[in-house]
């Protein structure tokens, strides 16, 4: 009886030991699980925090993108407004350009009909309305191509763009004539001398040129005394007294035929210790002579004229 009780007690003790061992194992297992759970919670917190930061950064990026898109939209609206304004301005400019183009064509047609020679690269031959079946092309000494109406000579007889004959001053028209044509055109000797005098000024091939370069508002001039000698050379056998009369008449003819683009000035000069006043026929710097620009001959400058 006693042995049986002791045996049961021993078995119970072993069972208790087993249960305690199992309980310790479970405690250890729980501790391990709790530690793993803590680690998992910590990792989850870090992940959530990082994810939140990424979301915040993404939201900030979206805000910046939205701002840029708004700015871009505003820029597009400004560009659309500018484009509308530019389109209106372009249409206005094109309209004005077309109007000017029509005007230019009309002017070119009129100049061609009056005898002008125009640079070919400035003329649209197919757009011109002229009273001629065709427009012909010619090449001048300068190597450039010009257009003209058939058999229309160059009014200025030069390689540059020429003026129409009707645009020239009467003295320029007469100066283009040869001696026979000049005599058939006018019987007045002063008129013929005026034409020759002008031709001597503008045509270097003439040779006998009494003109001199001026200064201070005077482009060129010829003295009355030099003109007298020049007339006697042009008209051999002319007496000195008659030559003096022709000087005044020739000067008057030049003034009249140049439509008073030229002028007469008096200048006080000194010779052999004596002062005297002499007339000069001058071409003022601002004289509006068709086909000419201001130029001076390469001579030393002289003193200014003294008006009398």
Domain range list for the chain: 1-88, 168-284
Residue 40 C-beta-side C-alpha neighbours within 13 Å: 6
Predicted TM-score of the model (pTM): 0.47
Q: 3-state SS of the chain: helix, strand, coil percent to 5?
A: 55, 10, 30
Which pLDDT score, from 0 to 100, does residue 123 have?
78
Angle between helices 189-202 and 224-234 (to 10 degrees): 110
Give the number of other CB atoms < 10 A from CB of residue 92: 10
CA-atom Rg of the chain in angstroms? 54
Which pLDDT score, from 0 to 100, does residue 193 have?
94
Q: List per-residue pLDDT tens for the chain, 308 residues long.
A: 677 888 888 888 888 888 888 888 998 889 888 888 888 888 888 888 888 888 888 888 888 988 898 888 888 888 888 888 888 888 888 888 788 878 877 877 777 777 778 888 887 777 777 766 667 777 766 667 877 777 555 555 554 445 555 668 899 988 888 888 888 888 899 999 999 999 999 887 888 899 999 888 899 999 999 999 999 999 999 999 999 999 999 999 999 999 999 999 988 888 777 888 889 999 998 888 887 754 444 444 343 343 33
Which pLDDT score, from 0 to 100, does residue 163 have?
55
Contacts of 12 (CB under 8 A, 6+ apart): none
Which pLDDT score, from 0 to 100, does residue 281 have?
94
Q: 284 pairs with which residues across the strands?
A: 218
Which pLDDT score, from 0 to 100, does residue 262 have?
93
């Amino acid at each position: 009886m006693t042995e049986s009780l002791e045996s049961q007690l021993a078995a119970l003790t072993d069972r208790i030991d087993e249960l305690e061992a199992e309980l310790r194992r479970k405690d250890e297992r729980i501790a391990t699980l709790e530690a793993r759970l803590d680690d998992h919670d910590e990792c989850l917190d870090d992940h959530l925090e990082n994810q939140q930061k990424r979301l915040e950064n993404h939201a900030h990026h979206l805000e910046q993108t939205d701002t840029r898109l708004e700015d871009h939209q505003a820029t597009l609206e400004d560009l659309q407004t500018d484009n509308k304004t530019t389109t209106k301005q372009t249409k206005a400019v094109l309209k004005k350009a077309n109007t000017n183009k029509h005007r230019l064509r009309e002017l070119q047609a009129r100049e061609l009909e009056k005898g002008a020679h125009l640079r070919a690269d400035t003329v649209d031959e197919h757009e011109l309305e002229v009273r001629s079946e065709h427009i012909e092309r010619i090449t001048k000494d300068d190597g450039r191509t010009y257009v003209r109406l058939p058999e229309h000579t160059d009014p200025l007889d030069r390689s540059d763009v020429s003026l129409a004959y009707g645009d020239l001053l009467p003295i320029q028209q007469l100066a283009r004539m040869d001696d026979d044509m000049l005599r058939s055109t006018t019987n007045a000797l002063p008129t013929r001398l005026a034409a020759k005098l002008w031709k001597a000024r503008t045509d270097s091939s003439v040779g006998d040129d009494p003109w001199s370069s001026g200064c201070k508002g005077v482009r060129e001039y010829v003295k009355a005394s030099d003109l007298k000698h020049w007339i006697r050379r042009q008209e051999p056998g002319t007496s000195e007294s008659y030559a003096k009369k022709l000087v005044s008449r020739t000067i008057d003819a030049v003034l009249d035929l140049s439509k008073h683009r030229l002028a007469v000035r008096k200048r006080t000069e000194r010779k052999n210790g004596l002062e005297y006043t002499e007339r000069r026929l001058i071409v003022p710097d601002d004289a509006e002579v068709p086909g000419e620009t201001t130029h001076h001959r390469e001579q030393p400058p002289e003193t200014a004229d003294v008006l009398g």
